[in-house]
Structure 1
Amino acid sequence: MDKYFAHETAVIDEGCEIGEGSVIWHFSHIMPHSKIGKKCKIGQNVVISAGVVLGNNVKVQNNVSIYTGVTCDDDVFLGPSMVFTNVINPRSAISRRSEYLKTHVELGATIGANATIVCGYNIGKYAFIGAGAVITKSVPAYALMVGNPAKQIGWMSEYGHRLNFNQQGEAICKESKEKYILENNQVKKI
């Protein structure tokens, strides 16, 4: 018995690794040399290309393509139909396979529905990319990014709530009651 579940319509190529407890739904394609961690949820019509690495408990919603060069740490959420790229200047008639740029999504980050992540940048831990945002630069940890091109409009807690910092640079998550500090335009949980 497999240690993971894959719907009968999913295509699982030889040479990929899939962690225990992961679930892969309808019409998804997992390519060789990709690695999916434990307890991941892969929605329908998802493509995970060669060389992609997903940590544990990553949730990939429907219609997401994760291209070569992308890595995601544990607990990352990839919203429906969000987009990764891996070439800055694609042309149909010119092969750029040797020019793939890397994109790294750090621990606990959320990327909203229909967002686009231009390749070559990092998304910081627990960052929150709003639906439809277009990321054209690296994103700091805990940053809240919206718009096209995306701009930072605030900070988010690890529970996904907006942080409101007082004059001393301190904030409390309304759900977890965890405390955060803002110093030198960087957020840390204390």
Structure 2
Amino acid sequence: MGDFFVHETSIIDRNVQIGNGTKIWCFCHIQSGAQIGANCSFGQNVNIANNVKIGNRVKIQNNVSVYEGVELEDYVFCGPSMVFTNDLTPRGRYPKGSLGYRKTLIRHDATLGANCTVVCGNIVGEYATIAAGAVVTRDVKPYALMAGIPARRIGWVCQCGQVLNENFTCPDCGMEYVCSNGDLVLKNTG
């Protein structure tokens, strides 16, 4: 095992990989086959299901379950009580198991706000921000600011997380972007 912290009330199953510097706080459960990167932070009552892959420096707030079929790349932020799913047609009477799970991918540096839901089978693009309480039902473009039920793009965000102004410039860090064919890209400064 590496150099990481696990609170005494948490359960770590066998066959789990946890990177150095990761902190797993109280009442968490990390299930068999999970791969967790370095310097992550899991708040109270986080469940990481079997075979989930989590990158480096991911922050998962209290009361989040990351189900099998979900992958989080580096620097993803999961707000308190946000929800992932992994089956579009669940039935208690007719369980399908992992063969019925739809893959969900959260790209690096994306933010998932408190109490939002990401329906399985979708990709949330890098640096995207999902507002608190939003429900993601389709793929999300990089840098998109999504809100509502179902989630719709209401703006764009900078790599630093701030909402961009009408000129696609960040009011905080000054980074400039260009919107081309419905996609946002960093402005070429060289």
* TM-score normalised according to structure 1 size: 0.95
- How much has 1:165 moved relative to structure 2? 3.4
Runs of 4+ in 1 over 2 A off after TM superposition: none
Equivalent in the alignment of 2:53: 53
Identify the residue that residue 39 of structure 2 maps to in structure 1.
39
Distance, in Å, in 2 between the alignment partners of 1:44 and 1:126 is 25
Alignment of 1:155-174 (within 5 A): 155-166=156-167, 171-174=168-171
1:183 alignment partner AA: S
> Who is 1:72 aligned against?
72
TM-score (norm 2): 0.95
SS at match of 1:71: strand
CA distance in 2, matches of 1:132, 1:77: 15
Distance 1:160 1:143, change over 3 A: same
- The residue identity in structure 1 corresponding to 2:177 is Y
Q: Residues of 2 paired with 1:164 and 1:175: CA distance?
A: 10
Using the TM superposition, give the Cα deviation of residue 66 of structure 1 relative to its aligned residue in structure 2, in angstroms.
Answer: 0.2
For residue 185 of structure 1, the aligned residue among 161, 166, 182 is 182
Q: CA RMSD in A?
A: 1.0
Are 2:2 and 2:18, in contact at CA under 8 Å, matched by a contact in 1?
A: no
Structure 2 residue runs without a partner (length 5+): none
Match of 1:175 in 2: 172
Percent of pairs with identical residues? 47
Deviation at 1:164, TM superposition (A): 2.0
Q: In the alignment, residue 18 of structure 2 is paired with which amino acid?
A: I
Corresponding residue of 1:135: 136
Give the drift of 1:160. Answer: 1.0
Residue in structure 2 matched with residue 103 of structure 1 by the alignment: 104
2 CA distance for matches of 1:35 and 1:174? 37
- Per-residue deviation, residues 6-29 of structure 1 (Å, max 9, x unmatched): 000010111010000000000000
Instruction: Please list every run of 5 or more consecutive structure 1 residues that lacks an aligned counterpart in the other structure.
Output: none
